[in-house]
Amino acid sequence: MKVNTRSIVALGAIAAISSLTLAGCAGSSDSGETTAPDMSGSITVWVDADRAGVLEAAAADFTEQTGVEVTLVQKEFGEIRDQFVQQVPTGEGPDIAVGAHDWLGTLVTNGVVAPVELGDKAGDFEDVAINAWAYDGQTYAVPYAIENIALIRNTDLVSEAATDYNDMIAKGQAAGTEYPFLVGLDPEAADP
């Protein structure tokens, strides 16, 4: 996947719907069984070319689990927000769009998104992910991914690359330095 010039936290297209669907799978019998909600129909998701491939499998899984058809429509990333704001009020826009979390203020003030209630599923996400999609105390989406522009490892301290985030933390702490992790925040620096 190509890295854009800014860190993208994508609108929780399939993840949000899946979370809400799973949250609705509450059984009422004493047997402890749960049943999936009876759903049908279709949803349209606007997504840029860089993320369409990633969402194809998730869309297929969602359709298989729920019976709801998911249509992914590729758009230029830079056009999605403005077209979403223009078309949703006319009924011509998508049901869901994949975009950057910093669009949220514009989407809320234009009245084109509604809050979601994640219930118990909120615990499945990092707080930073939920907070990125909160506006005036309400959550409007969840990300399907959190990206960073770059991650630099000091090979003098940690010779072998981490395999995942938890491994990175463990290796950083095992390095035995005063500051195993540093976050560079330079207000004069632009995105690469």
Q: What dihedral do alpha carbons 98, 104, 110, 116 form, nearest 10°?
A: 80
Average pLDDT, the chain: 79
Residue 62 CA neighbour count, 13 Å, CB half: 25
Q: Where are the domains of the chain?
A: 13-139, 150-192
pLDDT band at 186 (very low <50, low <70, confident <90, very high): low
Rg (CA), the chain: 19
pLDDT band at 152 (very low <50, low <70, confident <90, very high): confident
Indicate the length of the chain as a whole number.
192
**CATH of segment(s) 13-139:** 3.40.190.10
- The answer to whether 59 and 70 have CB atoms below 8 angstroms apart is yes
Q: Of 51-55, 61-65, 77-81, 135-139, which gets the smallest average pLDDT? A: 51-55
